[in-house]
Amino acid sequence: MTSQRQALHRLGGYAAVCVLILLVPLFVSDGYLLNKFARYLVFGILSLALSLSWGYAGILNLGQAAGFGLGSYCMAMALKLRTIPIQTGAGGLPDFMVWNNVHTLPWFWQPFHSYAFALLAGIGVPVLVAFLIGWFVFRARVSGVYVAIITLAMLVVINLVIIDQQRYTGGFNGITDLTTFKVFGVEFGAYSVSTYYLAAVILTLLLFLGLALMNSKTGLILQAIRDDETRVRYFGYDVANYQNFIFCVSAGVAGLAGMLYTLVMEFASPTFLAVPISLSIVIWCAVGGRASLLGAALGAIVVTGVQGSLSDSKTFLDTWMLIMGALFIVVVLFLPNGLISIVDVIRDKRERRRLAAAAGAPRRTAVVAPSRSAAR
Amino acid sequence: MSIDRRKFLKGTATAGVAAAAGFPHIWIKNASLAYAAGGEIKVGVLYSLTGTTAIIETSLNHATIMAIEEINAAGGINGMKVVPVIEDPASDPATFAEKARRLVVGEKCVSVFGSYTSASRKAVLPVFEKYHNLYWYPTLYEGRECSTNVMYTGAVPNQQQKDLIPWLVKNFGKKFYLIGSNYIYPKEENNVCKILLKQLGGEVVGEEYVPLGHSEFSAVINKFKETQPNVIFSTVVGDSVVALHRQYKAAGLDPKKMPMASLTTSEDEVAAMGGEFAAGHFTSAPYFMSYDSPENHKFVEAFKKRWGKDKTTNFVSEPAYFQVHLFKQAVAKLGKGSITPADVRKAAWGQEYKAPEGLVKIDPKNSHTYLWPKIGEWQTSGQAKIIEESKEWVEPLPYWAYPGQVCTPDGMVEKKG
Amino acid sequence: MNSIIPQISVGLSIASILLLIALGLAIIYGTMGVINLAHGDFVMLGAYTVWFLQKQFAMNLITTLPFVFAFVGAVGWLAERMLIRHLYQRPLDTILATWGLGVIMQQAVRLLAGAELRYVKMPDFLINPVHFFGYEDSAYRIFIFALAVALLIATYVLIYKTEFGLRMRAITQNRDVSRCFGINAGRVYALTFAYGAGLAGIAGALVSPLKSVAPDMGTGYVVDAFLVVVLGGVHSLLGTVASSYVIGQADAVLASWSDDTIAKAVVFLGVVVLIRLFPQGLFAMRVRRS
C-alpha cells in the first residue's frame, strides 16, 4: 500500500513540475529570459541523462559531456552548411575551413546537408561512441571508480582531437555563426517560445519515459546491479549488456540535450565537451539527487541558477567560485542523496508520526526509508 | 491522502516562492527601458576573472575600469555618469554568451567592452547581431572579419607584420620556422607571413602548432636544432610562451643566431618567464610599456597606482584602456539626445584619441583602428627596447592578404572581377 | 642514430615530469581508493609556495623544497582529516568532494596571489646546458630526472622497507583485519594523503621554472597524471614508472612526426584495448566497499 502511494506521489510530483515548466511562457514573454530558462532546461536533460546511468545503474560517467558535445556538433554542422559565410565570401565553404585553407568539403561533412541525417547523428554518434567504450569496459568487468577515470580520459581525448583537428571542426573556436533551425515552417530561434517549448516537452517526455524504464524489468535489474553486481551475475543475467545498454541510452539522451544546446546557444564549442562541464553535470546530479530523475533535473536548474545569480552580483564577483566549491562539499558531506532526499526525510518523519498516532502511543517504529539507495 | 495532497501543494508553493526569492534577478524584466536612462550610461565590462584566460583578462578588466573611473572623475559624459556592469564570464564561451545576453538585454548596456580570445568574441557575436548592440574588442586578432556590431581596436595582421618580416629577413636571414598555438589566430598570421616571405624570397623550414596550454617543448626544440632556422616566428600564446622561452634557453639555443620573433609575447609573459629568458628576442606590437611618450608615462603611473606597484601594462590592456576614451568621445559627440548602439558606432567613426602608443583613429571604412606598429627587443629587465617604430600610423586592413575582399561599414564585400 | 639519442632524452625528460606528478596520485589512489581530482591543484600549490618563498625570502629553489613538501603535505593532511575521512564508505563521492576542494584552492590562490602568470627562478647553476658524449642537454631537465628517480627510490623504501609502509600495505589489502591487529587506519590514511599531496607539491615546485605558474596550471597536469594511472594501474610502483615511461616516450616519438594530441589519443585507445585483453592481469581493480 505504502509503496503504491509513494509511486503515486512521485508521479504527482513529476507531473506538477512538468506543468509548471510548460506554463512558464504564459508568464514570461521576454526572449532573453526564455532563452535563459531554456538553457537551464537543457542542463536539466543532461543531468537526467547522468542520473540514468549513475543514479540507477551505478555507472559514474565522468565523460557525460562527450555525448553532449558530439550532439551539439552534429546540429551545428547541419546549421553551418546552411549558413552563408559572410566573412569569407558567399558561396564558399564554411568560414573556418576557408581560414584553414581547406578547399573541398570533407566527406564526413557531406551527409549533414540533410537535417534528418544530422538529427539521427546527434543521437547516433554519442550512442556509438558509448557503445564502443562500454563494450571494452563492461565486458572486462571494470567497475566503480575505474569506469570514472576511463570515461574522463575518453572525454579529454575526444576534446583534444576536436581542438586539434580545427580544419574540420573549427578547433578551439568551435562552430560559430549559425543559421536558425527551421523544420515544418517552425523556426527554432535561440530566443523563441518554440525553442523553449521544444526543450520543455523533451524534458517532460524524458522524465516520464525514464520513470517507465526504471520501473520496467530492465530498470529493476539495473538497480539491482547498482546495489550488488555480483549477485545479479549469479542470477544469470548478463550484467555487461545491461550496463552497456543504459550507458548508451544515457549518452543518447546527452546527445539530444547537446543538439538543443546548439539551438539555445547559437554555436558549438569544444568547451561543451570539456572537463569542467562534465564534472558540473555530476555536481548537478549529486546536488539534486542522483537516484531521482526529477531531482537530477531540478539539481541542474537550481545549481546553474544559483551560480548565475552569484556571479552576476557585484558582491560575489570574486568569491562566487569559492562559494560554489564550498556549497558543493557541504552537499556531498551532509546530503549524499541530494536535495530531493529532503522530501523523503520529511515524508518519513510524517509517516512515522502517523504510524505512531495510529498505534495510540508514541513508539519507535522502524519505517525503513524507501529504496532510494545509499550513495555508493 | 487528501491531507497529504494539500500539504504537498503547500510545499510546492513554498518551494516556488523560495526559488523566486532565491534568484530575484531572473524575474526582473526591463527590456522596455531605454539606453542611458536616468542620467547614467551603462556599459558592460566582460572580461574573465576566473578560468584559464583570467591570466590576461584581469588586466583588461583593470584597464577598462580605470578608464571609466577617469572619465567619471572628469565629470562623466555630458554630465552623465558611466556605470560599468562587471561580469565574470569565467573563460568559458557559453558563459560569455550568457553574460553578454544579460548585459545587452537585461541591463540594457549601450556598449560592451570585452574579451580576449577569438573564441569568446565569436561566441558573443550572435547576441550583438540579434540585439543590434555594439561590442568593443581590444585584442589583436587574425583579421578577416568585418562585423557591423564590433569596434576592433587591436591590431590586425598587416599592422603587425608588414614592417616586421622585411626587417627580420634583412637582419637575420630567410629561413623561418613558424610555431604557433593551435587555433585560428596563429594559422591566419602564418598565412600572411608566408605570403610576405614569398615576396621576399624567404623560406619556411617548419610549421608547427602546439595545443593551447601546451608546456612541453622539448620535441619542438629538437626540431629547431635540426632545421637551424634564422628566425623562429612565434604566435604561441599565454602560459605556453613562458614554457617555450625557458626551455629554449635551457636547451642552449642562442637568440643572437636564432631569435624568436613574436606577435603575442607581452610584458606579462616576460615578467612570468623572467627577463633573462626573453632577452634578445623580439615582439612586434603597437604598444610597449617602455614606450616613451607623456601619455604612456601617465597611463603606466596611473595603472600602477590604481592596481598595484608590480602590475604591468601591455599591448592588449592599452587598447582596452583607450577604447573606453574613444567610446566617451563618440557619446559626447551625440549630445544628450538619443544614444543607441548604432548611433555610438556611427559617432565613433573617425574619432581620434591621443593614446599611450600615439594618436589613434577609428577607421570609418571598417571600424578597425589606425595604430603605430613598433618592434621591441626584450631586455633582461623585463622591458622591451624599442628599436623600430613606424613613421606614421598604419591603416587597418582586415582583408589585406585577400585582394578580392574588402571590409566596409556594411560588412564584407567581394569585389567583382 | 643522430636523432635517436635526443629523442630518447626528450622522452625521459617528459617521463620524469609525468612520474613526479603521477606518483602522488597513484599512491593515494592505490592505498585509499580515493580519486583525488584536487591533485593538480596540489601541484599548483607547490609552485605557488616556491614563488612566495622566493619573493619574500629570496630563497633558492632547491632550499625551498622541504618547505614546499611540508606545507603542501600539511594542506593535504588537513583535507583528509576534514573532508576525505568522511567519505571512505563512498569512493565515488570523493571524486566530487576533491573537485570542490580543487575549485576552492584555485580561487583562493587567485584571490591571494593574483590571477597573472608568476615567475619562479631557476637555480643559477642549472640554467645553462651541459655537454656529454658530444650531445648537449638541459641541465635543469637532468636535475629533474635525478630528483624524480630519488623520490621514486624514497617512496619505494617508504612503502616496502618501513613499518609505516607495512601498515599501509596491510590496510590496502584488508582494512578491517588490519584494524584488528591494532593499526590505526585513520592515521595511516591521513599520512598517506599528506605524503601524496607533498609529492604533488614537489612536482609543482620542480616544473615551475620550466613552465609557468598560474592558478589553473594544475588542470592540465592532472589529466596527464590520470592517463598514467589508467595505463599503469595502481598495483605497484612499477606500473606507474613503466607507464610514465611509455607515455613519455610515445609523446616524444609521435610528436616528432605528428603532434602531441594524436599521441595522447593513440595512447588512450591503446589503454582501452589493453583493458579488454587483460582485464585481470593489468587492471583488476578492487573497489573498496567497506
- Asked if C265 lies within 8 A of A143 by C-beta distance, the reply is no
What pLDDT sits at residue C275? 66
For residue B146, which residues of chain A lie inside 8 Å, CB to CB?
Answer: 87
List of domains in chain C? 4-283 (1.10.3470)
Give me the DSSP letters along A117-174. Answer: HHHHHHHHHHHHHHHHHHHHHHHTT--THHHHHHHHHHHHHHHHHHHH-HHHH-GGG-
pLDDT score for B407: 87
Residues A256, A202: contact at Cβ < 8 Å? yes
Separation CA C221–CA C43 (nearest Å)? 8
- Rounded to the nearest angstrom, the minimum Cα separation between B292 and chain A is 35
The confidence score (pLDDT) of residue B167 equals 94
Instruction: Compute the average pLDDT of residues A210-230.
Output: 90
Q: Which of C6, C107, C117 sits opposite B55 (nearest CB)?
A: C117
Mean pLDDT for the stretch of residues B315-342:
90
Position A204 scores a pLDDT of 94
pLDDT band at B27 (very low <50, low <70, confident <90, very high): very low
Task: Return the pLDDT at C284.
Answer: 41
Q: CB-based contact (8 Å) between C236 and chain B?
A: no
**Which neighbouring-strand residues pair with A187?**
A182
> What's the pLDDT score for residue B13?
45
Is B47's pLDDT higher than 50?
Answer: yes
Strand B374-378 vs strand B282-285: parallel, antiparallel, or unpaired? antiparallel
Check if C140 contacts B (Cβ < 8 Å): yes
Q: pLDDT tens-digit profile of C95-117?
A: 888 988 998 998 899 888 877 77
Structure confidence by residue, pLDDT tens digits, B300-326: 999 999 998 888 999 999 999 999 999
List pLDDT tens digits, range B169-187: 999 999 999 999 888 889 8
Please report which confidence band the pLDDT of residue A75 belongs to, taking 50, 70 and 90 as the band edges: very high
The predicted pLDDT at position A72 comes to 95
Nearest alpha carbon to residue A122 among A308, A255, A232, A264: A255
- Identify the pLDDT of residue C134: 65
Residue A365 pLDDT level (bands cut at 50, 70, 90): very low
pTM for this entry = 0.85
pLDDT digits (tens, 9 = 90+) for B123-164: 899 899 888 999 999 999 988 888 899 999 999 999 999 899
Decide if pLDDT at B6 tops 50. no
User: Between B52 and B30, where is the model more confident?
Assistant: B52
Average pLDDT across chain A, whole number? 85
pLDDT tens-place string over residues C115-163: 777 888 888 777 777 777 666 677 888 888 899 999 999 998 998 888 8
Listed by number, the residues of chain B in 183-202 with a beta carbon closer than 8 Å to a beta carbon of chain A are: 183-184, 187-188, 191
Instruction: Assess whether pLDDT exceeds 60 at residue B9.
Output: no
pLDDT of residue B286: 93
Contact residues on chain B for C116, CB-CB shorter than 8 A: 55-56, 58-59, 268, 271-272
A372 pLDDT more than 70: no
Q: Would you state the pLDDT for residue B33? A: 54
pLDDT of residue A361: 52
Interface test mutation site (partner C, options B48, B53, B55, max chain C beta carbons within 10 A): B55
Residue of A nearest to B404 (CA): A89
Q: Which of C10, C213, C216 is nearest residue B218 as measured by Cβ atoms? A: C10
C96, C227, C275 member nearest A283 (Cβ): C96
> Chains touching chain A at 3 or more Cβ pairs under 8 angstroms?
B, C
- A49 at interface of C, judged by CB pairs closer than 8 A: no
| pLDDT, position A360 | 64
Cβ within 8 Å, pair C275-A140:
yes
Average pLDDT over residues C239-263: 76
For the cut 60, the answer to whether the pLDDT of residue C82 exceeds it is: yes
The whole-angstrom separation of Cα B272 and Cα C217 is: 13
**Chains in touch with B (≥3 Cβ pairs < 8 A):** A, C
Euclidean distance between CA atoms A141 and A242, whole angstroms: 12
Tell me whether residues B222 and C256 touch, CB distance under 8 A: yes
**Which residue of chain B comes nearest to A99, CA vs CA?**
B188
A228 touches chain C (CB under 8 A): no
Q: Is residue B384 a contact partner of residue B378, using CB atoms and an 8 Å limit?
A: yes
Q: How confident is the model at residue A375 (pLDDT cuts 50, 70, 90)?
A: very low
Taking the C-alpha atoms of residue B133 and residue B125, their distance in angstroms, rounded to an integer, is 10
List chain B residues with CB under 8 Å of A276: 92
Tell me: pLDDT of C277 over 80: no
B90 lies within 8 A of chain C by CB: no
Q: Does A326 touch chain C (CB under 8 A)?
A: yes
**Whether the predicted pLDDT of C259 surpasses 80:** no
Q: Spell out a b/e string for B315-341, using b for 16 or more CB atoms within 10 Å of the CB, else e.
A: bbbbbbbbbbbbbbebbebbeeeebbb
C-alpha B118/C-alpha B134 separation (Å) is 16
Tell me which DSSP letter residue B214 carries: -
> In the numeric block, which cell numbers belong to residue A87?
566573412
Return the number of CB contacts < 8 Å for A and C. Answer: 136
Average pLDDT over residues A26-31: 81
- Across A18-32, A114-128, A354-368, B200-214, the highest mean pLDDT is recorded for A114-128
Is C45 at the interface with chain A, CB within 8 A? Answer: no
* Per-residue pLDDT tens digits for A305-320: 888 888 777 777 777 7
Using one digit for the tens of pLDDT, what is the confidence trace for C173-192?
887 888 888 888 888 889 99
| Average pLDDT score over residue span B206-210 | 89
Taking contacts as CB-CB distances below 8 angstroms, the residues of chain B near C252 are 218-219
What are the C-alpha distances in Å from A291 to residues A92, A205, A217, B90?
Answer: 49, 18, 17, 30
d(CA B261, CA B103): 38
Residue B344 is predicted with a pLDDT of 92
B273 and chain C in contact, CB less than 8 A: yes
Predicted local distance difference test score (pLDDT) of residue C287:
38
> How many percent of chain A have pLDDT more than 70?
94
Residue B86: which pLDDT band, with cuts at 50, 70 and 90? very high
Contact C116 B223 (CB under 8 A): no
E strands of chain C, at which residues? 130-132, 135-137
SS3 category, B253:
coil
User: Is residue C164's pLDDT more than 90?
Assistant: no
What Cα–Cα distance (Å) separates residue C142 from each residue in B246, B249, B251, C131, C153? Answer: 15, 14, 11, 11, 17
Please write the tens of the pLDDT for every residue from A124-149: 999 999 999 898 888 877 777 778 87
Which of C28, C90, C95 to probe the A interface (max A CBs under 10 A)?
C95
What's the mean pLDDT in A111-134? 93
Q: In a mutagenesis test of the B interface, which of A169, A180, A271 is the best target, namely the one with the most B β-carbons within 10 Å?
A: A271
Q: Enter the ipTM.
A: 0.82
User: In this predicted structure, what is the pLDDT of residue B19?
Assistant: 45
Q: How far is B303 from chain A (nearest CA, A)?
A: 20
**Using CB atoms, which residue from C35, C111, C275 is nearest to A145?**
C35
C129 CB within 8 Å of a chain B CB: yes
Name the grid cell of B194.
608566408
Mean of pLDDT values over A240-263: 94
**What amino acid is encoded at A171 in this protein?**
G
Residue numbers in B near A30 (CB within 8 A): 29, 31, 105
Phi, psi of A55 (to 5 degrees): -65, -40
User: Which residues of chain B from 348 to 377 reach within 8 Å of chain C, CB to CB?
Assistant: none
Q: Is the pLDDT of residue A256 over 50?
A: yes
Mean pLDDT of A193-208: 93
Q: Is the pLDDT of residue A287 over 90?
A: no
- What digits encode the pLDDT tens for the residues C17-38? 888 888 888 888 888 878 888 9
Rounded CA separation B120/C29 (Å)? 37
Is B238:B266 a contact under the CB 8 Å cutoff? no
Closest chain C CA to residue A144? C287
If pLDDT is split at 50, 70 and 90, which confidence band does A202 have? very high
Q: Under an 8 A CB cutoff, do B268 and C251 touch?
A: no
**Cβ atoms within 10 A of the Cβ of B72, count?**
16
Task: Provide the pLDDT for residue B235.
Answer: 92
pLDDT tens string B188-197: 899 899 999 9
Report percent pLDDT > 90 for chain A.
30
All three cell numbers of C169: 600495505
| Optimal mutation site among A23, A161, A311, A315, interface B, most CBs of chain B within 10 A | A311
Q: How confident is the model at residue B7 (pLDDT cuts 50, 70, 90)?
A: very low
| pLDDT score, position B1 | 39
Set of chain C residues whose Cβ sits within 8 Å of the Cβ of B272: 116-119, 212-213
* Stronger pLDDT, B238 or A34, i.e. the higher one: A34
C-alpha pair distances (Å), B264 with each of A268, B223, B235? 26, 21, 6
Average pLDDT of span A177-203 = 89
Q: Is B169 on the interface with C (CB under 8 A)?
A: no
CB A272 within 8 A of CB A261: yes
Asked whether the beta carbons of residue B126 and residue A177 sit closer than 8 angstroms, the reply is: yes
Report pLDDT for C41: 93
In whole numbers, what is the pLDDT of chain B averaged over residues? Answer: 86
More confident: A211 or A340: A211
Q: Inform me whether the C-beta atom of residue B146 falls under 8 Å from chain A C-beta atoms.
A: yes
How close does chain B come to A9, measured CA to CA in Å? 8
Cell numbers at C152, concatenated:
621514486
Interface test with C, best of A141, A230, A329 (most C CBs within 10 A): A329
Q: Which of A155, A230, A275, A332 to mutate to test the interface with C (most CBs of C within 10 A)?
A: A332
Residue B362 is inside which H or E element, if any? strand B358-362
Report residue B56's pLDDT band, with 50, 70 and 90 as the boundaries. Answer: confident
On chain B, the residues whose CB falls within 8 A of the CB of A174 are 93, 119, 122-123
Please tell me the predicted confidence (pLDDT) of residue A96: 84
State the pLDDT at residue C234: 61
SS3 content of chain C, % helix, strand, coil (to 5): 75, 5, 20
From the list A13, A89, A312, the residue facing B87 with the nearest CB is A312
Cell numbers for C54, please give them.
622566493
* B19 in A contact zone (CB under 8 Å): yes
The neighbouring-strand residues paired with B386 are B376
Residue B231: its pLDDT value, please? 94
Check residue A103 and give its pLDDT: 85
- Considering only CB atoms, B218 lies closest to which of C3, C13, C117, namely C13
